[in-house]
């Protein structure tokens, strides 16, 4: 009721201005602009026409500002009589257009709410459509640069680097390929796989080229260690001198061990590791190099594990 009644009161103010302009044509058409002598003229005209008084304070409180509550009903009746109506109820009854004012106000409010909301929704839909039509699936196959054969290993890891985001990690599928759905035009990824040198790949993506082969360089040192672990017993002693050349005297070598309850680590020096590789043991066929570092052509750090063939 407050909004509707107050809209009537705003209309009553306009009627008061119209009545005052009959006696004082030069008075401001905006009642909120009245002050000083204008208010005195209104007080006098109100007293003459309806024999009623109002204070300057009351005028400033109710007539010059949008107040949070309507004036008392007795004052509303007085002001309605000043404008030619029997009382406030008659004024409201005969000024039904006041309801249209409320409707216009409500319509305007809805306009200012719904139009920006609709704009946001439309922009959101256009953005989603843009993402949908520009998102493509690309396939990358990793190839050995020497043999030209696919690199198929269930430990091949892709680290996707996105600006402003944490790296995303993926494992290459069993066929040695990596599939990526994206709407970006450029990607940057790090490829890490056992027995090959890590590489950072940067590619510009186009819808005309959705499949690409990426060459990986074999890590010769790690492949040799792997081959040594697979050789026949009578060949191992022949390779001790070659291992001695490959591994730095101060190399840090450790084996990752795992069990049902805990994970541990076994440290080896250069000679102990060579002995391990030249000792007849079927488990060495499951040796897997996890990490390595080199300096001046020699292995300075080696991390490996022996997989349980029963797993």
Helix (H) or strand (E) holding 5: helix 2-23
Q: Identify whether the C-beta of residue 306 lies closer than 8 Å to the C-beta of residue 256.
A: no
Interatomic CA distance for residues 122 and 118, integer angstroms? 6
Are 148 and 90 found together in one domain? Answer: no
Span 183-218, pLDDT tens digits: 888 889 999 887 788 889 898 888 777 888 888 888
Interatomic CA distance for residues 250 and 207, integer angstroms? 51
Residue 23 has a pLDDT of 85
Which of the four pLDDT bands, split at 50, 70 and 90, describes residue 98?
Answer: very low
Mean pLDDT calculated for residue range 105-124: 71
- Residue at 82 is within a domain: yes
Which of the four pLDDT bands, split at 50, 70 and 90, describes residue 310?
Answer: very low
Are 7 and 45 found together in one domain? Answer: yes
Are 9 and 85 found together in one domain? Answer: yes
- Count of C-beta atoms within a 10 Å radius of residue 309: 9
What does the chain come to in residues?
311
Residue 85 has a pLDDT of 94
Interatomic CA distance for residues 311 and 35, integer angstroms? 95
Interatomic CA distance for residues 173 and 244, integer angstroms? 37
Residue 75 has a pLDDT of 92
- Residue at 41 is within a domain: yes
The residues near 296 (Cβ < 8 Å, ≥ 6 apart) are none
Are 90 and 6 found together in one domain? Answer: yes
Interatomic CA distance for residues 8 and 59, integer angstroms? 17
CATH code at position 154 = 2.60.40.10
The residues near 231 (Cβ < 8 Å, ≥ 6 apart) are 239
- Residue at 180 is within a domain: yes
More confident residue, 96 or 35: 35
Are 70 and 89 found together in one domain? Answer: yes
Are 202 and 252 found together in one domain? Answer: no
- Of 216, 236, 251, the position where a domain reaches its end is 216
Interatomic CA distance for residues 293 and 169, integer angstroms? 22
- Residue at 118 is within a domain: no
Q: Identify whether the C-beta of residue 311 lies closer than 8 Å to the C-beta of residue 288.
A: no
Residue 151, exposed/middle/buried by CB under 10 A (0-12, 13-18, 19+)? buried
Residue 111 has a pLDDT of 66
Residue 305 has a pLDDT of 82
Interatomic CA distance for residues 304 and 287, integer angstroms? 7
- Of 63, 95, 127, the position where a domain reaches its end is 95
Residue 235 has a pLDDT of 62
Residue 287 has a pLDDT of 76
Are 287 and 231 found together in one domain? Answer: yes
Interatomic CA distance for residues 2 and 68, integer angstroms? 9
Which of the four pLDDT bands, split at 50, 70 and 90, describes residue 77?
Answer: very high
Which of the four pLDDT bands, split at 50, 70 and 90, describes residue 1?
Answer: very low
Residue 88 has a pLDDT of 93
Interatomic CA distance for residues 116 and 152, integer angstroms? 54
More confident residue, 236 or 117: 117
Are 13 and 91 found together in one domain? Answer: yes
Which structural domain range is residue 197 located in? 135-216
- Residue at 114 is within a domain: no
Interatomic CA distance for residues 233 and 238, integer angstroms? 10
Are 302 and 252 found together in one domain? Answer: yes
Are 245 and 226 found together in one domain? Answer: yes
- Residue at 110 is within a domain: no
Q: Identify whether the C-beta of residue 197 lies closer than 8 Å to the C-beta of residue 216.
A: yes
Which of the four pLDDT bands, split at 50, 70 and 90, describes residue 89?
Answer: very high
pLDDT higher than threshold 60 for residue 262: no
- Residue at 129 is within a domain: no
Number of domains in the chain: 3
Interatomic CA distance for residues 182 and 168, integer angstroms? 13
Are 194 and 226 found together in one domain? Answer: no
Are 72 and 58 found together in one domain? Answer: yes
**Strand order through the sheet with 199-204:** 168-171, 157-161, 186-192, 199-204
């Amino acid at each position: 009721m407050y909004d509707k009644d107050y809209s009537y009161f705003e209309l009553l103010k306009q009627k008061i201005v119209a009545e005052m302009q009959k006696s004082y044509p030069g008075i401001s058409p905006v009642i909120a602009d009245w002050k000083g002598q204008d208010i005195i003229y209104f007080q006098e005209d109100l007293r003459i026409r309806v024999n009623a008084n109002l204070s300057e304070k009351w005028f400033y409180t109710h007539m010059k500002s949008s107040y949070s509550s309507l004036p008392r009903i007795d004052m509303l009746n007085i002001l309605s009589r000043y404008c030619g109506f029997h009382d406030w109820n008659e004024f409201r009854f005969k000024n039904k257009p006041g309801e249209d004012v409320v409707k216009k106000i409500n319509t305007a409010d809805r306009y200012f709410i719904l139009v920006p909301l609709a704009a946001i929704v439309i922009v959101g839909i256009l953005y989603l459509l843009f993402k949908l039509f520009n998102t493509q699936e690309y396939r990358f196959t990793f190839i050995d640069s020497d043999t030209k054969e696919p690199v198929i290993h269930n430990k091949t890891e892709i680290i996707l680097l996105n600006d402003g985001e944490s790296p995303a990690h993926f494992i290459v599928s069993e066929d040695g390929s990596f599939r990526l759905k994206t709407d970006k035009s450029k990607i940057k990824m790090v490829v890490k796989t056992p027995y090959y040198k890590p590489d950072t790949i940067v590619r510009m993506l186009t819808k005309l080229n959705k499949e690409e082969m990426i060459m990986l360089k074999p890590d010769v040192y790690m492949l040799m260690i792997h081959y040594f672990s697979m050789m026949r017993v009578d060949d191992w002693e022949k390779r001790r001198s070659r291992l001695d050349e490959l591994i730095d005297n101060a190399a840090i070598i450790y084996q990752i061990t795992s069990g049902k309850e805990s994970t541990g680590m076994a440290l080896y020096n250069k000679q102990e590791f060579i002995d391990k590789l030249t000792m007849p043991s079927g488990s060495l066929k499951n040796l897997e190099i996890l990490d390595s570092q080199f300096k001046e052509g020699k292995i300075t750090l080696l991390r490996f594990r022996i997989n349980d063939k029963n797993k």
